[in-house]
Amino acid sequence: MIDLQFDFAILLPPLYQGALMTFALILVSAPFGFLNGIGIALGRTYGNWLVSRLCHGYVLFFKGCPLLLLLFIIYFGLPSLGITFTAFTSAVIGFILCNGAYNSEYIRGGIQSVSSGQMTAALSLGMSRVQAIRSIILPQALRKSLPGLSNEFIYLIKYSSLAYMITVVEITGAGNIIAAKYFAFFEIFILIGIFYLALVTVAGRVIASIEKKIAIPGFGGV
């Protein structure tokens, strides 16, 4: 068992590097997963028959495919077809694809909660369909879907630990390497658990602040 008070100099540098990798995975994946979700939701709601069915199939596949399996397919499977990505890129692609599928469902629900009469009114005022979606429908839909989107963002924070399974040494991977070397599994993973708890707590507070800021007056929330 490692003496944590004595060996912080050993523990902290690799854990710090792992934490930076975790932040990088999240900061790259989350925005593109969000944009992907918007595109899929709009395609499924407003696209023609073919586009709508393709978007529906996308959601079915990536919601049904375990994320770990998806990472294995991208990193270990695609090279057999001549398509090769780095471990980091493979992890980001997998996170974006999966995150986008779930985000699209929350956003689609938000779109469907907006009265169809608003689209009719916008078109009658001379706005194009694209203008109406961009300026009237989508802003309301995103407000209403924010609680679900925030949950998916928190899931993404925790799912980032799966990247270690395809050799991306984020904080869980770094901790596992250190724990195996010094036989201090309990101590190391408690530290990592505290890191994730702190990260999720901060993210939750930031999201709650955003929800409060954009809440519709008189409706008691988003």
Mean pLDDT rounded to a whole number for the chain: 89
Asked if 11 and 191 count as a contact pair (C-beta separation under 8 A), the reply is yes
The 10s digit of each residue's pLDDT in 96-119 is 999 999 999 999 999 998 888 888
pLDDT confidence bin for 183, thresholds 50/70/90: confident
Question: Are the C-beta atoms of 18 and 171 separated by less than 8 Å?
Answer: yes
Average pLDDT, integer, range 53-62 = 96
What is the structure's pLDDT at 213? 82
pLDDT of 221 reads: 47
Q: Whole-angstrom Cα distance, residue 205 to residue 117?
A: 35
Q: Where are the domains of the chain?
A: 23-168
pLDDT digits (tens, 9 = 90+) for 141-150: 998 899 899 9
pTM of the model: 0.89
Give the domain 23-168 fold: MetI-like fold (1.10.3720)
**HSE value, Cβ hemisphere, 13 Å, CA-based, for 134:** 5
Of 26, 47, 200, 19, nearest to 96 by C-alpha is: 26
Mean pLDDT to the nearest integer, 12-18: 86
The band of 164, judged by pLDDT with boundaries at 50, 70 and 90, is very high
